[in-house]
Copies of this chain bind each other. A is one copy, B any other.
Amino acid sequence: MSDTPHGWATREPVGRIAYVNGRYLPHARAAVHIEDRGLQFADAIYEVVGVVGGEFLDEEEHLDRLQRSVGEIGMAMPMGRAALKLITREMARRNRVRDGLIYFQVTRGAVRRDHAVSDSPPRPTLIVTARNLDPNQTEQRREKGIAVITRPDERWARCDIKSTALLPNILAKTAARKAGAFEAWLLDDDGFVTEGASTSAWIVTKEGRVVTRDLSNAILPGVTRRIILEAAAEGQITVEERKFTLDEALAAKEAFITAATLGATPVVTIDGHTIGDGMPGPIARRIQELYRHAAETAARAKPSAP
């Protein structure tokens, strides 16, 4: 492996560091073996933790979900919670991340290719990367609102597992981007919205009730989704966890998406149809305020970082 296997990596910030299996490495040189099961079989789980003002958003919940997904596919966590949190902080520090994200990927490790997992599987691979995001861009997206298209939900039956078998997701997301949209909402066989390609989907009914799909194998149990459900309840906003159709979404007063790195971001068009008055609505804005407040409260309640 050469020092800079790919030209693009040399355009990364000077000094960008990645973590792979116990080592902190220059990002451009960070690699996994070609027979890593993550690469050959999508036999891997990932997680993304948002960083705002140096604070890790909903960190415990994301690590809980990582652990749950890893367990659902019969894998062991590569290390304990305290060690993972130390790596998280070291990665934020080394990469000078104040507003951005930490990305975790756990694979079933490198071993001679065989579909079946062996009785004595290899050591899992742990990859951690960190990067800054432009907070102005996120803020502008929330100010202007985003466009959404819809696509058939072609994903597998266990979307509650946050695996890297993301090919259907990236095809939907790419179709959205080609159509000038930011996200694709996925429709199940009965015409109900499941979720976005990488975000949770929400609408606000004419009566001002907030609706998002109930948890099942059909959607990822969004961490931001859960925090927002709690924040909305505290803010006296009525929330219904149930399926909704594309027609109901098109007739909604407002719509929005949520994700760790986005908070609540308003949707202003779906498949080219204007939602509400075509402007970010007051309830999405209020939800974002409640979410931000919840995050700040949680940050203040935390013991100071080691």
* Contact assessment for B113 and A167 in the assembled complex, using a CB-CB cutoff below 8 Å: no
By the criterion CB–CB under 8 Å, are A9 and B38 in contact?
Answer: no
**B6 touching A109, Cβ below 8 Å:** yes
**A4-45 to B contact mask, C-beta < 8 Å, 1/0:** 011011001000001011000100111111111111111110
Q: How far is the CB of A87 from chain B (nearest CB, A)?
A: 14
Pick the contact of A110: B8, B152, B165 (CB < 8 A): B8
CB distance B113 to A103 under 8 Å?
yes
By a CB distance below 8 angstroms, the chain B residues around A38 are 39
User: Knowing A152-B157, A164-B41 touch, does A115 contact B173 (C-beta < 8 A)?
Assistant: yes
CA separation between A88 and B248, bound complex, in Å?
Answer: 54
- Give, as a whole number of angstroms, the nearest-CB distance from A107 to chain B: 8
Is there an interface contact between B1 and A174, defined as CB atoms closer than 8 Å? no
Which one of B18, B41, B164, B197 lies within 8 Å of A40 (CB-CB)? B164
Considering the chains assembled together, what is the distance between the CA atoms of A103 and B34 in angstroms? 11
- A residues 37-87 near B (Cβ < 8 Å) are 37-44, 46, 73-74
C-alpha gap A129/B111 in the complex (Å): 13
Interface band, chain A: 35 or more
Cβ contact of A5, chosen from B110, B117, B174, cutoff 8 A: B110
Question: Is A33 touching B33 in the complex (CB atoms < 8 A)?
Answer: no
0 or 1 for each of A96-107: is its CB under 8 Å from B? (1 = yes): 000000010101
Residue in B closest to A3 when the chains form the complex, CB atoms: B1
When distances are taken between beta carbons in the complex, the residues of chain B under 8 Å from A205 are none
Question: Which chain B positions have C-beta within 8 A of A36?
Answer: 39
Shortest beta-carbon distance, A150 to chain B, in Å?
15
With contact pairs A115-B170, A174-B74 given, residues A5 and B30 touching in the complex (Cβ less than 8 Å): no
**Are A73 and B158 in touch, CB under 8 angstroms?**
no
A178 to chain B, nearest CB (A): 8
- A214 at the B interface (CB under 8 A): no
Could you tell me the distance between the alpha carbons of A20 and B32 in the complex, rounded to whole angstroms?
A: 13
Nearest-CB residue, chain B, relative to A115: B173
- Residues in B neighbouring A165, C-beta threshold 8 A: 42, 156, 165-168
- Using a CB-CB cutoff of 8 Å, which residues 166-210 of chain A contact chain B? 166-171, 173-174, 176-177, 197-198
B20 lies within 8 A of A34 (CB) = yes
Least CB separation from A116: chain B residue: B177
Asked if A129 and B168 make an inter-chain contact with CB atoms under 8 angstroms apart, the answer reads: no
Which residues of the other chain, B, contact A197 by a CB distance below 8 angstroms? 115
Partner of A6, one of B1, B110, B154: B110
Nearest 5 interchain pairs by C-beta: A31-B31, A154-B157, A42-B42, A165-B165, A116-B177
15 additional A-B pairs beyond A103-B113, A154-B158, beta carbons within 8 Å, are: A1-B25, A18-B34, A28-B33, A32-B32, A34-B127, A34-B129, A41-B167, A42-B164, A42-B167, A43-B167, A74-B174, A116-B177, A117-B177, A155-B156, A156-B167
